[in-house]
Structure 1
Amino acid sequence: MMKKESFRRILIRIFWISLVFTIGFSWVYIRYAVPDRLNLVVNEEEVFHFALPPGVTFESDSEEVVLKNASEIPQGMIRIERPDSVSMYGKNEGSYRVGMKFLGLIRMKDIQVEVVDGSYAIPCGMPVGIYLKSKGVMVIGTGQVTNDTGNVVEPAYGLLKSGDYIQTVDGEDLEDKNDLVDAVSASDGKTLALGIRRDGRRIEVDMTPVLAEDGSYKLGAWVRDDTQGIGTMTYVDMNGNFGALGHGISDSDTGELVDIEGGELYETQILGIEKGQTGKPGVMSGVIYYGKGTKLGEVKENTTEGIYGTVNHHFLDSIKTDAIPVGFRQDIHKGTAYIRSNVSGEVKDYEIEIQKVDYGSIQKNKGLVLRVVDEELLNLTSGIVQGMSGSPIIQDGKLIGAVTHVFINDPTRGYGIFAENMISH
């Protein structure tokens, strides 16, 4: 009897350990394998393919999103258990929820389902010169100053840090870094109250400028108020709104996303391409033409998914292609696709292979893994180079994404962002 009781306890422990492990594994797997958000075109059925563990069910929380199984029988609020594919049909535009449960009891995940009108955009692939003006004067870092007595001091150490934005001096707004230099020069060594934006919070820092050995007053901080570079225009929508790059513009020294006040797009000319090689990404070099007649648009946002704003008629007149449907992540599959780029001096489509589609990717601009297979592009660039970020990815006649990053150890491969992530940023 004692042996039987001991054996029964062991079995019970094994059962509970197995159950906890299964629930934990299923929760982690579902979290990363199934996206948090899906898009449906109103009155169109979309099919989603999920490889799910046993015991997982789908439930619609609204009659506006109808679930169907593989046999096309409408299910509505009825559960669909461990399907190889799930069809969803959105009756009306809006935001709804579809839940996922384990064993019909434990709520594992909520999927936000956005039912939207069909979306179209023009995939561009054209290089643009980008100028961004930061919101305040950005602190790059602090440094040492040799004062008028020959001593080396660091007045900003512990008071300012990389990524700070100086917005005001003694309550006066700063337009650019020249305003800051003028205010420090006019301080005559008196303490200044600096209005700082740090990690989204507003703080005030008191600093006393140091009289340097050259006779000028200094804070001992390196600052910047703008940034510029060359990137690729991804798309323009029917209202003249654009999205570009597929990732944000970060400061070259701090690595922080630049918090911008605004910016402009300008014509650019690619002058040369340094091919990529293992361990060293390639790069496109060029010149930006600043001027009234070369301006292409306004930049309004700099986000982790790219830069956004509006283009002018000058840019619209240069587009030689038509709008195509925007594909959702469920439309994307492994295999042949194309990237549109101007690396050769004219806009062309180059063949690529989509190797991986991470439907539940946490990093929004790394949902796709792609490989360049087009011989012409490989001969030009060896694959993906800096400056190609934002090149639109087209598959089955739909805009499905944009190139974002290159693999350091393999320039033929890189990451891409889903077009829906860019458009719904």
Structure 2
Amino acid sequence: MIQKKVKLTGREKSELIIEGIVTVVIMVLLNFAVLVLITQVLNRSPQVQDGIWLLKIGLNQNNTLQLWSWQWLFIFLMIIFDAIVVWWRLIRRYHQIQMRHVIAELHYIADGHLGHRIPFLVKTDLQKVIDSINALVDSTVQSMDEERQIEKSKDELISNVSHDIRTPLTSIIGYLGLIEDRQYHSEEELLKFSHTAYVKSKQMKVLVDDLFEYTKVRQNGTRLNTTEFSLTNLLEQLAASFELEAEKKHIDIDVRTTPSPLVMTADPEKLVRVFNNLLVNGLKYGQGATHIWLTAQQVGNEVIIKVSNDGAEIPNDSLSHLFDRFYRVEESRSQETGGSGLGLAIAQSIVALHGGYIYATSDAKMTSFVIYLPAAPGKKVAKPAAIQAAEKTQKKKAGTPEHATA
């Protein structure tokens, strides 16, 4: 926003001129009144006249300064005093006019023009008021945008949940209806109908459980049950629990930590949910993968964890949306691999609760989910350079200046 000086209208300039003329007239009358008062005092007080006569004699004898010099000095001081008063009155009136302009701008903003800002640049404390008003409007607009985004997010959540629940629920009702109406021709077909209804019920349960977990970790005031534990042992136990499923897909899971064992303080139960979601994601969507690597390294007060696989590359356009609720890469939307779409959003929320960050990278060789966590609770890690670069790219695409705040 370009700031400028208050531009006076013709009427306001006339107001200043009239103010100056009126002040000059008042000061002339005041000076005349003072002169008359002094004259009357001199004429009515012999003692004062005698004192002035002695002063004249003394000045003439000393030949230092004539009386007329004192008279001119008095007149000069009166002129300076009058000029100061006139200037003060004009400045005071000018500041009042500036205030009127600011109030008019404020009323314009209050009428609903929230994109407008007070553009004036003044040299008084009024500038602090202008800057505060502009900052307040910026904060209000940001809060309103966030509120709209929350409402939009709630609507999308309800819509997505309704859609994802309705699809398996329709199948369940349909197959149970066939069983209820005895629309099967053999016991094998009956078992097929009941099995399909059972599978769809399990899909609904996964969605409901994930939705419950997501809302739970997103609530304000959610507490972490932190304890000191070995991250190395936790990752090894997770790898062992997924070993059978990985063998079916001919995938090897490798765990490496530096140092070994790597000990940290966090909420192990919630972190298990994070790593579990990332492993499930790798096994489901890592098409063509032969390895999954779980690596962790302590760097200073931070722990950097990577869950990587050598499967198919994730498109760049999808990387920035992976952690959005219900988002799935389009090629993976199938009944065979499709999950609730909340797994990565839950993982991001849990990592954020710990004061950390998570992001994804992908190329033709490797797809990795990178997690930064503080080694001890109560601290927050610095934002990784990869996330900062992604945010700058998004702001450039949206046309937002890099220095603007979110």
TM-score (norm 2): 0.22
TM-score (norm 1): 0.21
Greater share of strand: 1
Greater length-normalized contact order (CA 8 Å, ≥ 6 residues apart): 1
